[in-house]
Amino acid sequence: MNVIIVGCGRVGMTLAEKLNDDGNAVTVIDMLPSKVNEITSQIDVMGVVGNGATHTTLIDAGIKDADLFIAVTNSDELNLLCCMVAKKEGDCQTIARLKNPQYSNEAEYLRHELGLAMVINPEYAAAKEIARVLRFPSAIKIEPFAKGHVELIKFRLPKGSPIIGMSVKDMIVKYRANVLVCTIERGEEAHIANGDFVFAEKDVVSIVASVKNAHDFFVNINYKGHSVKNVLVAGGGVITHYLCEILQKSGIALKIVEKDEKLCETLAADYPKLDIIHGKPSDKELLLEEGVEKVGAFVALSNLDEENILLSLFAREVNNGKIVTKINRTDYDSVIRRLDLDTVITPKNVTADSILRYVRATRNAKGSNIETLYNIIEGKVEATEFIIKEDSPIVNIPLSQLKFQDNVLVASIFRDGKVIIPRGNDVILAGDSVIVVTKTVGLSDIADVLR
C-alpha cells in the first residue's frame, strides 16, 4: 500500500518504521526539515517538508496515488483538517489521531461525518491497558481477543514460583490448566513454547485462555488474582484523565500527585470524588506521606521517561504491589527490560499496532480477515486474530494434518461463544476467530502460516 503520514513525532516515527517493515511504500510529511531528515536518514521512506493540510504539499507527497493517509501531529484540529483535504484531493482512506479528552465523546461522530476510516487515541488506549492490568495485577500485560472472550496474558515468574523447574506439559497436567502457553522470554531470547520447555526464574511467560480459565490458573499457581483497591498516580496529564474516567466506575480509590496547579484544578473539577494532590511527583517525601508504601498499585505517568523509571524503581523498593510505568521512547528497550519494571506502557506502540492491524486487514486476504494484532515481543513475536472465511485453505482439516511453517502456534479458536484451546484433532471452521502466535512478523492472511 502507498501510505502518507503527516507528523514526524514519536508516533509518526514508529508508524513509518513499522509500516515500512511491513512492505508498504511510506511518505512522511512535517513542517520541520530536521524531523523529516531524521526519519528518512534512518528508514527507507520518502520525505516531504511542508504543511500536511495544504493542497501543494499533499500533491508533492503523492496524494493522488495514496491508499492510506494518516495524520498524527500534536494538534487534533490540524489532524482533522489534514484528513479533510486528503479526502478532497485523493481517493484514499484517512486516519486521524485525536488525544484531547474533549473529543473523546465526539470521536464516532467525527469519524462518520468526516468519512474517516479510523480515529485513534493513543492516550485513551494506554489508559485502557493500564486499567486491564490493575484488574489483574499478576499480569505484566493483558491483550483482549475475540471481543474480550479470550485474553493473552503476560506474566513474570518470581523467585519461589511453583512452576519453576517444571516443563510446560507437566504444568498443564499437574494444575489441570485449560490454558495454552505461547511464548517464553528469557533475557534477549524469545521462544515459541513446546511441551518440553522448562520454566526458569524471571522467565516472562505468555498464555492464552478464556477469562475464567485464566483466573482459575493463576489461583492454582498462587498468584494474585484480584484487582487492586487503591492506586497512587504520579502525573496528571491526558492518560491520567482517561484513567480516572475508566476507574471511577470500578470502585478503585485513586490519588493523583501533579505539579501543575491548573491541571490539578481541572482534575478536581472533573472528578470531585478523587484525591488530587498539588506537588511534585518526584518528591520522595511527598510520595511517602501520600502512602506509596501501602497502595495496591503505583502508576508513573509523568511526561519524562527518566522520572517515571526512577519513580517506579523507588516504588518497587518500598512497595510489593503493582507498578506501572509509562515510557515513550523505545530506543533503550533492552536496558529497560533488565530493570525489571513490571508493566511498561508505550502509547505509540499501541497506536502503531492498531493502524498496522487496519492496513493488513484491508489487503487482499483471500482466506481470512485480520481482526486483532498485538506484538507479544516487539519485533520478534506477534499474536494475530483472524476471522476465517469459507474459502480458507485451513478449513475442515485437522490441525495435525496441516503443514505449518516453523515457529507457528495456533493458540485459540473461538466458536459460538466458546473458547477452544486447540489440540491436534481439532479443526477450524468458517466463521471461527483464530489466534495465531508466530515469529513470522507481518502476516496478512491465515494461509501465510502454511508452508
* Residue 253 and residue 269 in one domain: yes
Q: Which of 81, 199, 218, 75 is nearest to 140 (CA)?
A: 218
Q: What is the chain's pLDDT, residue by residue, as a tens digit (451 residues)?
A: 899 999 999 889 989 998 998 889 999 999 999 999 999 999 999 999 999 999 999 999 999 999 999 999 999 999 999 999 999 999 899 999 998 888 888 888 999 999 999 999 889 989 999 999 998 888 999 988 988 899 999 999 988 899 999 999 999 999 988 999 999 998 888 899 888 999 999 999 999 999 899 988 998 888 866 678 999 999 999 999 999 989 988 888 899 999 999 999 999 999 998 999 999 999 999 999 999 999 999 999 999 999 999 999 999 999 988 999 999 887 777 777 778 788 999 888 888 888 888 887 776 555 667 888 888 887 788 898 999 988 889 999 999 999 998 889 999 999 999 999 998 899 999 999 999 999 887 777 888 888 8
CB atoms under 10 Å from CB of 331, counted, come to 7
Q: Which of 306, 355, 340, 356 is nearest to 326 (CA)?
A: 306
Q: Which of the listed residues 220, 242, 262 is the one where a domain comes to its end?
A: 220
Q: Total structural domains in the chain?
A: 4
pLDDT value of residue 375: 81
* Residue 148 and residue 240 in one domain: no
DSSP 64: G
* Residue 210 and residue 239 in one domain: no
Residue 351 forms part of a structural domain: no
* Residue 201 and residue 274 in one domain: no
pLDDT tens-digit series, residues 314-357: 999 999 889 999 998 877 777 777 787 889 998 888 888 888 88
Residue 418 forms part of a structural domain: yes
Alpha helices by DSSP H, listed for 319-442, are 333-338, 347-361
* Residue 332 and residue 236 in one domain: yes
* Residue 279 and residue 335 in one domain: yes
pLDDT value of residue 225: 63
* Residue 215 and residue 235 in one domain: no
Q: Look-up: residue for cell 507479544?
A: 376
**Sequence-distant (≥ 6) Cβ neighbours of residue 205 within 8 angstroms:** 154, 155, 156, 157, 181, 183, 184, 185, 199
Residue 68 forms part of a structural domain: yes
Residue 331 forms part of a structural domain: yes
Q: Which of the listed residues 86, 120, 154 is the one where a domain comes to its end?
A: 120
Q: Look-up: residue for cell 489440540?
A: 423
Measured between alpha carbons, how far is 11 from 74 in angstroms, rounded to an integer?
10
pLDDT value of residue 283: 94
β-pair partners for 232:
255, 298
Residue 350 forms part of a structural domain: no
* Residue 334 and residue 238 in one domain: yes
Alpha carbon separation from 295 to 83, 134, 203, 316 (Å, rounded): 44, 12, 26, 12
Measured between alpha carbons, how far is 316 from 325 in angstroms, rounded to an integer?
11
Residue 24 forms part of a structural domain: yes
pLDDT tens-digit series, residues 199-216: 999 999 999 999 899 988
Q: Provide the domain limits for residue 155.
A: 126-220
CB atoms under 10 Å from CB of 387, counted, come to 20
CB atoms under 10 Å from CB of 10, counted, come to 18
**Sequence-distant (≥ 6) Cβ neighbours of residue 1 within 8 angstroms:** 24, 25, 67, 68, 359, 362, 363
* Residue 405 and residue 331 in one domain: no
Residue 83 forms part of a structural domain: yes
* Residue 142 and residue 90 in one domain: no
Q: Which residue type sits at 15?
A: L
Q: Which residue type sits at 76?
A: D
* Residue 374 and residue 429 in one domain: yes
Residue 290 forms part of a structural domain: yes
CB atoms under 10 Å from CB of 73, counted, come to 25
CATH number of the CATH domain containing 262:
3.40.50.720
Q: Which of the listed residues 291, 310, 345 is the one where a domain comes to its end?
A: 345
**Sequence-distant (≥ 6) Cβ neighbours of residue 198 within 8 angstroms:** 165, 166, 167
Measured between alpha carbons, how far is 155 from 169 in angstroms, rounded to an integer?
18
Can you read off the three cell numbers belonging to residue 124?
A: 485513551
* Residue 86 and residue 173 in one domain: no
CATH number of the CATH domain containing 186:
3.30.70.1450
